[in-house]
Amino acid sequence: MELDPSIAALEHRLGMDSFRRRLRVEHALQGAVHRFSTNPKSNLAKLLMRSRLLHQAMRLVGLYQIGYRQFLYPRIVTRDVPLAGLPAAMEGVTILQLSDLHLDLDPGLGAILAPLLDGLQYDLAVITGDFRNLLVGPAEPAIAATANLLRHLRGPVYAVAGNHDSLGMIPPLEAAGARFLLNEHVVWSRGNARLVLAGVDDAVYHGTHDLDRAFAGAPNDAPRVLFSHSPAIYREATRHQVDLLLAGHTHGGQICLPGGHIVISGLRCPRRYLRGAWTYEGMQGYTSAGTGASGVPLRFNCPAEVTLHRLVRG
């Protein structure tokens, strides 16, 4: 199969084995799934939520409007992240995290996010995967909506690919201003202080995350922040001396019982890693509840979020 040169050029960044595996899995996913995911429980939930009769009933009792509002108006979550060994010059550095945008699901979300992002203060931004909603079909609507949103983010803007994303989406999104970390790292500096920012490819469907490659050559005397679509790599992250892991994928459950109880997670992972802040063997972690939604533009007992992580000395 002859590849577009812009896609073929990603092989040296992702790694040959991961690149070829991703192409194989992308091809297999095109034939295996259509409008839904590979998780049977998630598919059942989406089928129920897409039911016209159910939607009519929800509208009659006002539930649809409640769920749509929780989807359409993300809350801003601001938190301090204590990191041992954080240089004094890095005190207060703020990372803006967006995750699971799925901007092709509903055009209303991008219009809401743009002015919200314009008013935020931060030093760098990251999008932790899943730019599109469906796994098949044209990606252009998601690319165009994301490119428009990127105009409202101040650089540098980093990103990792999620399980819904394809390699073909990366070149146009990078041209629009998002620097993908494909099993790669960069060293971000403030004065003489340094911060290692690493990103890995999707561990959910593709299994193409490679932390050895991501941290190859990274300085050992600088704090390490890892961007991953999924929090499920938390054990592996600690073996690479990661100080902070930022992830998404779970949507925080998206449709939850009162009190935020997660019904379907779509990820085999201890529940405490599925939403919000957590720690593991001294590593700080955070799993975003997601900025968008998947399958249906609804959320219940689980508001969407835009997250500001402020680094402080621990």
pTM for the full model? 0.93
Cα 143 from Cα 129, distance rounded (Å): 13
Domain boundaries, the chain: 5-313
In this prediction, residue 155 carries a pLDDT of: 83
In this prediction, residue 34 carries a pLDDT of: 45
pLDDT tens for each residue of the chain, 314 residues long: 567 899 999 999 999 999 999 999 998 887 755 444 555 555 555 555 566 666 677 777 778 889 999 999 999 999 999 999 999 999 999 999 999 999 999 999 999 999 999 999 999 999 999 999 988 888 999 999 999 999 999 989 999 999 999 999 999 999 999 999 999 999 999 999 999 999 999 999 999 999 999 999 999 999 999 999 999 999 999 999 999 999 999 999 998 989 988 887 667 788 899 999 999 999 999 999 999 998 889 999 999 999 999 999 98
Give per-residue burial for 8-30: e unless 16+ CB within 10 Å, then b. eebbebbbeebbebbbebbeebe
Token pair recorded at residue 248: 């998404």
Closest CA to 240 of 281, 277, 279: 281
Task: Give the chain's length.
Answer: 314
Closest CA to 154 of 201, 199, 120: 120
Cα 26 from Cα 7, distance rounded (Å): 13
In this prediction, residue 154 carries a pLDDT of: 92
5-313 is classed in which CATH architecture?
Answer: 4-Layer Sandwich (3.60)
